[in-house]
Amino acid sequence: MNILITGIHGFVGTNFAMSLKQHVLYGLDIIAPPKNGVVKTFSWKDIETTSYPLQSLPPFDAIIHLAGKAHDTKNQSAAQSYFDINTGLTQKIFDFFLESSAKKFIFFSSVKAAADSVAGNMLTEDVIPTPVGPYGESKIRAEEYIRQHLSKEKQVYILRPCMIHGPGNKGNLNLLYNVVKKGIPWPLGDFENRRSFTSIDNLCYVLEGLLTRDVASGIYHMGDDEAMSTNELIETMCEVMGKKPHIWKMNRRMMEGCAELGTLLHLPLNTERLRKLTENYVVSNAKIKKALGIEKMPFTAKEGLVKTIRSFLDSGKI
């Protein structure tokens, strides 16, 4: 297959390029360094049909849209930048897809487009989206645009993965890893929260399935089969690093009281941050597994996490 991948030089795109090397790959990005297995990387101006006709581009069988503005957990990014990139660029590339000969379009949205917090035991695709903040709101607006312009002759998939991790990962998992690596105790051991993660290997497997099988168009949540607690994450990290985990089970009510005081005094640990650190966020992957005709993902959550942590150790940069 001839496949165009937007954002191919990012963390996920780089992993996809290695996983899909049996196909003919092209990139679309704001940078265009040579990448092994990628024939050429185009710029965003190249897909504007007024200046760069479709006939000037190679025929694509599928387009994977990864490019976007990642969630800024420090809330330092301007809200409009999320809509300019996550919504605006998605509209542009989807319009290009509709005019092209490509038959499959895979848009990488996020579970944050569905919900900032999970009500009930598990987040499923039938939830009424209630995103909070510009990241989730810009993603759901992009989803709405795609759904309003669907074509019966083409297959369109909206993937909503939860936190993706793997070699080259950058994000909150790296921050936790650095805390554990320095031997800093984790004081929230009394909170047994459960969270879903997405290992890059499972994501690559699902992507290959969507590209090569006859799967119905639709919205699909993506995550590993097992949810993990923060305590289990820390224990796994320590296991890979050969360290003893330092998990302190400070009294739950006392920590909640400290967080309330932190809210009043504008301290780093406040009620909202404590909620984010300790809440449950479990995502169902039942729909995508059923669509692919599988009973379980090829890799367990722990196997994926171990691979990620080992990549941190091997890189020596974190």
Per-residue confidence in pLDDT tens, the chain, 318 aa: 999 999 999 999 999 999 999 999 999 998 888 888 999 999 888 777 545 556 678 899 999 999 988 866 555 568 898 999 999 999 999 999 999 999 999 999 999 999 998 988 899 999 999 999 999 999 999 999 999 999 999 999 999 999 999 988 877 788 888 889 999 998 899 988 999 999 999 999 999 999 999 999 999 999 999 999 999 999 999 999 999 999 999 888 999 899 899 899 888 788 888 888 888 999 999 999 999 999 999 999 999 999 999 998 887 655
Q: Are residues 237 and 271 located together in one domain of the fold? A: yes
Q: Among 52, 46, 51, 41, which residue's Cα sits nearest to residue 13?
A: 41
Helix, strand, coil in percent for the chain, rounding step 5: 40, 15, 40
CB 252 within 8 A of CB 219: no
Same domain, 86 and 172: no
Beta bridge partners of 199: 165
Domain with residue 265: its CATH number is 3.90.25
Does residue 111 sit within a domain?
yes
Q: For the residues of 81-95, what is the DSSP string, one character each?
A: HHIIIIIIIHHHHHH
Closest CA to 294 of 225, 219, 195: 225
**Residues 59 and 90 reside in one and the same domain:** yes
- 109 and 234 housed in the same domain: no
Direct distance between the N- and C-terminal alpha carbons of the chain, in angstroms, rounded to an integer: 37
Residue 291: its pLDDT value, please?
Answer: 97
Which residues constitute the domain of residue 117?
Answer: 2-161
Instruction: Kindly state whether residues 150 and 172 are assigned to the same domain.
Output: no
Q: Are residues 315 and 187 in the same domain?
A: yes
Residues 6 or more apart whose Cβ sits within 8 Å of residue 221: 111, 114, 123, 124, 125, 160, 161, 162, 283, 284, 285, 287, 288
In a domain, 217, yes or no: no
Whether residue 290 is contained in a domain is answered as no
Token pair, residue 277, equals 């650190």
- Rounded to 10 deg, the angle between the 271-278 and 252-265 helix axes is 140
Q: What is the pLDDT of residue 196?
A: 96
pTM of the model: 0.91
The CATH number for 36's domain is 3.40.50.720
My answer on whether 102 and 6 are in the same domain is yes
What pLDDT was estimated at residue 141?
97
CA gap 100, 152 in Å, rounded = 14
22/155 same-domain check: yes
Residue 209 resides in a domain: no
Contact 182, 237 (CB under 8 A): no
| Single residue among 136, 161, 186 that ends a domain in this structure | 161
Determine, yes or no, domain membership for 33.
yes
Within a domain: residue 211? no
* Contact in structure between 103 and 61 (CB atoms under 8 Å): yes
**How big is the chain, counted in residues?**
318
H-assigned helices in 195-300 = 200-212, 230-241, 252-265, 271-278, 286-292
Could you give the CA distance from residue 129 to residue 113 in angstroms, rounded to a whole number? Answer: 7
As beta bridge partners, residue 64 has 5, 106
- Same-domain check for residues 61 and 92: yes
Is 218 among the domain residues?
no
pLDDT on residue 278: 86
User: Collapsing DSSP states into helix, strand and coil, what is residue 168?
Assistant: coil
Residue 106 in domain? yes
Give yes or no: residues 141 and 180 share one domain: no
* Cα 13 from Cα 19, distance rounded (Å): 10
Question: Is the domain of 7 the same as that of 141?
Answer: yes
**b/e per residue 190-226 (b: at least 16 CB within 10 A):** bbebbbbbbbbbbbbbbbbbbbeeebebebbbbbbbb
- How many domains are contained in the chain? 2
Q: Please give the DSSP secondary-structure letter assigned to residue 15.
A: H
Residue 282: predicted pLDDT: 96
185 and 72 in a common domain: no
